[in-house]
Amino acid sequence: MIIDSHSHYFPLELIKQARKGNAYDGLTVNQDREREMVCHRQGARYELKRIFYDLGAKLARMDELEIDISVLSLAPTLFMYWTEKTEADDFCRRMNDNLAEFAAKSDGRIVGLASVPLQDPIGATRELRRAVIELGFRGAEIGTSMEGLPLDDARLADFFSEASDLDVPLMIHPYAVGKRERMEDFQLNNLIGNPMDTCISAARLILSGFLDRYPELKIILPHGGGYLPYQIGRLNHGYFARPGKNLCEHAPSEYLERFYFDTILFDPKVLNFLYDLVGAKRIVVGTDLPFDVADVAFKKNIVALNITEDEKEKIFFQNAQRLFNIELSYKKI
């Protein structure tokens, strides 16, 4: 059994609008030779692969990779935090309805994560509750910040209290539809900028005392946690070298057990380091499909770990099953 905790969806309703040039926020889908490309007015551009929106193609790709269940979230470029809040409320509601319909046709193989309008904390709280209670979603995907507003900001407190009360996990995913300074070349916006954003966000959640305020909240850090696991020693050193500068109750390394980390690291040596640091019980499979930086060698990298078969089972599916409260009703044929 394999559960992929990190893969993405692009609603067909939005694609049809984008092809006509009348989609939300000026989003377009254009033909580039034999490929369709999603184009954001801020500059982001990526291939619109069929498995973003075609259920048959999605399930076929899952079968190729021996994935039994995929936890699906909206492409993070569609967070739309920069848009007007009333329109964003409606957009998130429609996208969640689309994903719920997509999942309902999958015979239990697709599990949904909600998208919420964080620029409207009241609306985000309301939509999270609706998505979980009415649509059966198992959590939500949010950005590493809300257009620069850190997640530990008090204005977002009610949303996080609701997630904690509902006992559903949050995937904190980096996003960028425009450029980052000094990262315009060599794909650095994605390759360096995204894991950097994850590290900054997670470090703030630790050092601000956020995790102390929400002791039951479950958080997933994609892409192996960004740079956080590999710089935790530096955070610890700063904590002790400059007492009084941070608001957390314990040394930063003690909070690693509050996070789940996916396997999107592309290198078994690095995955082994993450395992040595946090243990098998905090790691879940991730692919980032269908983006071109997806990690489809996850199975080989997990098998290569010098750990017990029981620990591998935790990583392959047991941790995700418990985290997302998934009933394993799907059976391979």
pLDDT of residue 189: 83
d(CA 38, CA 245): 43
Active-site amino acid positions: 288
Can you read off the two tokens belonging to residue 319?
């941790």
Q: How far is CA 236 from the centre of its chain?
A: 26
pLDDT of residue 333: 42
User: Against a cut of 0.85, is the pTM above it?
Assistant: yes
d(CA 199, CA 221): 9
d(CA 219, CA 140): 10
- Tens-digit pLDDT profile for residues 212-233: 999 999 999 999 999 999 999 9
Residue ranges of the chain with pLDDT lower than 50? 333
Kindly tell me the burial class for residue 31, based on how many C-beta atoms sit within 10 Å of its own C-beta (0-12, 13-18, 19 or more). Answer: exposed
pLDDT of residue 330: 52
Instruction: Assess contact for 122 and 86: CB atoms under 8 A.
Output: no
Q: How far is CA 231 from CA 58, 196, 223, in A?
A: 36, 11, 15
Enumerate domains of the chain plus CATH numbers: 3-323 (3.20.20.140)
- Tens-digit pLDDT profile for residues 70-105: 999 999 999 999 999 999 999 999 999 999 999 999
